[in-house]
Structure 1
Amino acid sequence: MTIVGPGVTGSEPARDGRTWPHTRDATVPMSLRDTAAFDDAEEAGPDNASLIHLHESIAALLASRGQYRQAYQHLRSALDLATAGQNDPPQIPEQFRREVDRLRKEHAEAHEQSIRDSLTASYNRRYLDQRLVTLLGDADTTRTDLAIALVDLDWFKQVNDTFGHLVGDRVLQRVVELLQDGLPEGAFCARYGGEEFVLVLPGIDGPTAVAVAESARARVERHPWSKIVLGLRVTVSIGLSHEPPGGPSGAAERQLKRADGLLYTAKQSGRNAVAYHADGQAKLAGAAAGRRAVAEPRVLTH
């Protein structure tokens, strides 16, 4: 892209293949060139017209790089220059309006893709870390409860080894759908890594969080996995940690570690279970609660 400044003449191809006609001193995109607003800007001086083109050219370059927010800001600057000094509200050119709408849409799509896991469409680790900082990062005594459930597929390596990775991918996608089914308002699922996922459950107390996690575990267990491939069976183990309202700040990493330790308890106590803390000790929820041996949570120091 060539940015033409004051005093330079010639023509420049637009992105749609047209040639942008010149003003007296600058090449200007058609989005503003054929408008009364641009005529007013041109009368104000060639420097003003050149700045309009400069902003539009920079916007096109930024958009091509995926920097949509900055591109939109430059388009707004171009419009402000074109309508400067007008008493009446500016008539936004239709082509300019469409360009701004396109940039907004592309920016929203790009942002959504940046926070989603490409395989399962659940949120990714980046989004999880950002949200946990928001939910737990402030020493705010008015903060509500927050439960974190760390979910791991049982014997998932055997699924891949026995049925292949394509089946394994389908299993991961279906597990995410089952985990997300019926989550409370404000809750979300994120892929933590590999076959591990996190359910973030804000605004619910400990017993309710246990019930939500146990329901998710049961849905996975009851799902007719043999419809995907004969002989397939999938279960999950879950470690659930809960932070009461007004807890200490900076608790995201600590709460994840507690959930990881309780996940170890669920695994060591027979898998296909939800492990949580209550009355100062580790317990198992639902049908697993009748098991005689409950392993102690693993304590992670780093």
Structure 2
Amino acid sequence: MTVLRPGVAESDPARDGAGRGVPAPPPPSPHRTTPANGTPHNSSSQQPNAGLVQLHESIAALFASRGQWRQAYHHLRSALDLLSSEQIEPPHVPEQLRNEVDRLRREHAEAREQSLRDSLTASYNRRYLDQRLVDLLTDQERRTTGGLAVALVDLDWFKQVNDTYGHLIGDRVLQRVVELLQDGLPEGAFCARYGGEEFVLVLPDIDAQTAVAVCEAARARAERFSWQQLASGLRVTVSIGLAHEPAPEQAGAPLSVDPQAQLLRADSLLYVAKQSGRNAVAYREGGRVRLAGAAAGRRAVAEPRVVGYY
């Protein structure tokens, strides 16, 4: 008589003729179906990372609602990466997700731009000025045909404007001066607020003579502007100190890579413009300090402050 182990029948298909046990097929999964071609697939795991994608989208929406654009953008990028990892072809990005990514990109770009702008005048701020000057001074290839000019601009008697007309008019004067300084700047040039009523014009890829002409034109625009539009009896002028760094082949030596050195030279020349009667552009040519435009030849030129860079 054959002794059967508990739970095993003589006709059990899981046993072969030699009595060796053959593993029975696993029970069908409630989540698996077999299509007509006989190839099983998992209907609930076509995109196993779908839950993570939704989670990243939800977190991104939360960060975006708080104005934390960098974190929101990071989670949306993670969602896109998960979608890409599951498909051989480029994924079809849901329109809502695509719009959200585009919006966050714009918001991030705008936020960065605002972080580099002066809130009152919309000119660039000191942070941007310092970063850009380093880039320009170390970019030797951009100096192959021209040089780099830095002009320090200061409003004349601006304290009297605030004392006489009030700070609201003073703010409007600063805003209008920036507009006048930026009007007609060559391509690549920009205006930045240095502090208070001082501004910097940065003129890359420019020769010394053209730089003088640009600064003198800016000074003249400020002088000719009808300031009575802002307040009766108001008159505003600016003084400018211009320092030009020639191209390497013109100077015979590499450019200075210290932006503070060029700003100090411009500051010394601004002092000359102030001490020579204001409303003037002071620059150096052939080892001598000169005044540009109408101020040339009718004023005595003051001695520049010694800053150790001449």
Dislocated runs of 4+, deviation >6 Å:
none
Q: Which moved more, 1:215-224 or 1:130-139?
A: 130-139
Question: What's the CA shift string for 1:92-124, capped at 9, x where partnerless?
Answer: 101101111110111111111111111111111
Q: Distance in 1 between matches of 2:237 and 2:59?
A: 53
Q: Distance in 2 between matches of 1:253 and 1:115?
A: 19
Q: TM-score, normalised by structure 1?
A: 0.80
Question: What's the CA shift string for 1:180-224, capped at 9, x where partnerless?
Answer: 111111111111100000000011100100000000000000111
Query: Using a 3 Å threshold, how does the CA distance of structure 1 residues 97 and 147 change in structure 2: closer, same or farther?
Result: same
The corresponding residue for 2:125 is: 124
* Contact residue 40 and residue 83 of structure 1 kept, 8 A: no
The corresponding residue for 1:272 is: 279
SS in 2 for 1:290: coil
Query: Using a 3 Å threshold, how does the CA distance of structure 1 residues 194 and 41 change in structure 2: closer, same or farther?
Result: farther
Q: CA deviation at 1:71?
A: 3.1
RMSD: 2.3
Q: Distance in 2 between matches of 1:61 and 1:132?
A: 38
The corresponding residue for 1:68 is: 69
Query: Using a 3 Å threshold, how does the CA distance of structure 1 residues 149 and 41 change in structure 2: closer, same or farther?
Result: farther
The corresponding residue for 1:158 is: 160
The corresponding residue for 1:145 is: 147
Q: Distance in 2 between matches of 1:142 and 1:287?
A: 30
Q: Matched residues, percent identical?
A: 72
- Name which one, 1 or 2, has greater alpha-carbon Rg: 2
Query: Using a 3 Å threshold, how does the CA distance of structure 1 residues 193 and 40 change in structure 2: closer, same or farther?
Result: farther
Amino acid at match of 1:93: P
Query: Using a 3 Å threshold, how does the CA distance of structure 1 residues 232 and 292 change in structure 2: closer, same or farther?
Result: closer
Query: Using a 3 Å threshold, how does the CA distance of structure 1 residues 261 and 41 change in structure 2: closer, same or farther?
Result: farther
Query: Which of 163, 172, 179 does residue 174 from structure 2 map onto?
Result: 172
SS in 1 for 2:194: strand
Q: CA deviation at 1:257?
A: 0.3
Unaligned runs of 5+ in 2: 1-41, 249-253
The corresponding residue for 2:88 is: 87
Q: CA deviation at 1:140?
A: 5.8
- The answer on 1:254 being equivalent to 2:255 is no
Q: How does 1:9-20 map to 2 (within 5 A)?
A: none
Q: Which moved more, 1:153-162 or 1:124-133?
A: 124-133
Question: What's the CA shift string for 1:69-93, capped at 9, x where partnerless?
Answer: 4532431221221343323332110
